[in-house]
Each structure stands twice: as C-alpha cells, then as structure tokens.
A and B are shown apart, each in its own frame.
Chain A
Amino acid sequence: MISLVEDVCVERRHWITQEEMDDLVVVAESTPGPIAINCATFVGSRLGGLLGALIATFGMVLPSFLVIFAVSRFLDRFLEIQIIANAFRGIKLAVGILILDAGRKLFLRLPKKPLPLMILFVSLAGTLAMHYFALRISSVVLLLAAAGTCLLVRTIRKGGGRP
C-alpha cells in the first residue's frame, strides 16, 4: 500500500517530496487509522487545503466502499449455497492464522523492555478476561491506561530517556 501511494504521489505526479513522504509514513504509524487514508488527507490538504483533503480522502475511500457495499448485498444469499458455506468455514481458519501472524509481527517490532512487555501482558490478559469471563473493561480503557502509564513513567524518570 505504501509503495503504491509513493509511486503515485512522489514519482509520477510530484505532489509531495520523498522527504515529506518518509515523514508521513512515520506520522501514519503514530496516528490512528489506515496509512492510505492518512496519506490521502495529507496530500490533499497540501495541494488544495481543506477541500483538497476532503476530496482526496473521499476518492481513497470510494472504490472500496462501492465494492464492499455490493458484496454486502449478496453475501448472505451466497452463503446459503452449501459449497460456498464450506469454503467459508475454511476461510475462517485462514483469517485466524492471518490475525495471529499480524500480532506476531507487531510483537517483533515492539521494544523488548520491561514496561512495554508488562503492558502487552496486561492487555493480553485483560482482553482474554473480557471475552471469557464477561469482565466489563473496554479496550479504550486499556489503551488510555497504557499510554498514561508510559507518560507517568517518563515523568518520574524525567530526562532519563525513553521508558
């Protein structure tokens, strides 16, 4: 996805410089939302202000919106066909593996220091507890607590580098 955006915005259309693109990738990793949307908003805004940002983001979302909306109209009926339903039972297994793999990749990129590892463990245990013991804590609370803990640790260590 990033290479596609780079190809269009930097190399073919020269909308932004390579340096801006590199910055943007870092920013996109530190802000919520899909990187493609972040890029569209940034490039649109750089070239055409608020209206540009709106149009570029809209343009980025529209194709997938149309495809998925079309799919959502017929998927239910499609699943009534036995062989399709069986295929999707197989697909469900692949999705589990892909998500586990996504988790593995996120874990590999995480700094292996006590604080991040502790937060990871708490959020893993908390999410499992939410699911299996009907414990009512929300993911948002976990996320805010994680960010808060890191900021607190940094305040305590003031100037002592990264937590």
Chain B
Amino acid sequence: MILLELFLGFLQVGCFSFGGGYAAIALIREVVLSYGWLSEDMLSYIIAVSESTPGPVMVNLATYVGGSQAGVLGAVVATLAVVLPSFCIILALMAVLRRFVSNPWVKAAMIGLKACVTGMILATALEMVLANAVTNGSADMIAIALTLALTGLYYGFRPLFKRKLSPIALIAVSAVLGAAAYGIC
C-alpha cells in the first residue's frame, strides 16, 4: 500500500527533522532509498530543484517523492505527513513556548539530537560526494575536477568578493560547468 508507506515514511521524517531543512535530507535519503522510491542521482536532482524553488526543502522533497510514486494523492499524503508532526507540536506548545525552550531537560535532549543530526548529515554528505566521484566503478575524473573547482568557488568567493555565493548561484554555475564539461568530453 504505497500511500500508507508514503505517509509513515514522511511522518518519520517530520518527527525527527531537527536542525533545519538540510538536516532532514539525511532522514529523507534513508527513507527514500530504503523503499527504493528514487535513485540516488534523482534524489540529488530533486534536492537541487527544491533549493532553487520557494518553500522549505523538506516539504518540496515530500511533494516530489509522493507525486512521483502515487500522483496527486501521493503528493498530498507525503506533504501532509511531513508537516503534521511540527504542526501538532507547535499547537501543543503554544501555551508554554518560553518555559519549553528554557527547560533544562529539553535543552539537554536537544544537544543530543543536534549532535546526532550533525553526524548524520556529515555522513550523508560524505557518501554523496564519494558516490559522485565514482561512475560505474571507476573514478570519474571530470566529476572530481568539477567538485574541486566548485568547492574552491564556493569558499573562495566570500574572501574575494566580500559577499557570499548563494546556493542557487552555485547550482547555476554547476549546471553550466556540467553541461560544458560532459558535453565536450
């Protein structure tokens, strides 16, 4: 029952996505790959699309994955499931907002959750970067060269031009470089 799987999968993502949109990517990737809903490559593409369109990355990913698996209904179910936990939690906490955030037990648990999410997202990022560097079992020299160039650009931009390169700008540059490099070679 694909709708139930989508609902439960994204409910899990919605319940544990501490630390912002990108932190949720580790969870979403685990769920999506374990059910075999999308390939790793496709997931990367959707993350880029989500980053370049309005709205939270997590909601965008849920909509896409749901839609790709079960049409409009799938998109609605997955989006609903990913939003539901935070919706309920905020409603439940309305009256005690300030006491909640200053509670020492909550603070303690939150440090653990954030540390854990940080480890998960770093691991996920390493897996993705490594997977990108290898195509069909051999090193993809173009990908490695482009990754190094894009990393240099992303971190070198601020000291050189006194302003940050936005993620969307990096994605745009990478699209042009990818089209050029893979088109020529």
Contact = CB atoms under 8 A, between A and B. Distances in A.
A45 B94 contact: yes
B139 to A, nearest CB: 14
Contacts, number: 338
B90 A69 contact: no
B83 A27 contact: no
A107 B112 CA distance: 13
B129 interface: yes
Nearest to A116: B115
Contacts of A29: 19-20
A96 B125 contact: yes
B41 A139 contact: no
A27 to B, nearest CB: 5
A61 B108 contact: no
The range of chain A's interface size is 35 or more
Contacts of A79: 45
Interface in B25-44: 25-27, 30, 41, 44
A46 B25 CA distance: 30
Given A64-B54, A96-B125, A140-B12, A72 B64 contact: yes
A160 B110 CA distance: 17
A96 B129 contact: yes
A107 B122 contact: yes
A71 B119 contact: no
Contact of B86 (A37, A86, A138): A37
Contacts of A122: 119
Which residue of B72, B82, B174 has the most chain A CB atoms within 10 A of its CB atom?
A: B174
Given A37-B83, A96-B147, A106-B121, 20 more contacts: A36-B56, A38-B90, A64-B53, A64-B55, A75-B45, A83-B183, A86-B183, A88-B41, A90-B179, A93-B150, A97-B154, A98-B170, A100-B125, A103-B121, A111-B111, A122-B119, A127-B26, A127-B120, A139-B27, A143-B116
Interface of B: 12, 14-23, 25-27, 30, 41, 44-51, 53-60, 63-64, 67-68, 72, 75, 79, 82-83, 85-87, 89-91, 93-94, 97-98, 100-101, 104-129, 132, 143, 146-147, 150-151, 154, 167, 170-171, 173-179, 181-183
Interface of A: 1, 23-24, 26-27, 29-38, 41-42, 45-46, 50, 53, 57, 60-61, 63-65, 67-69, 71-73, 75, 79, 82-84, 86-104, 106-107, 109-111, 115-117, 119-128, 130-131, 138-140, 142-143, 145-151, 153-154, 162-163
5 contacts: A29-B20, A45-B94, A88-B178, A90-B182, A96-B125
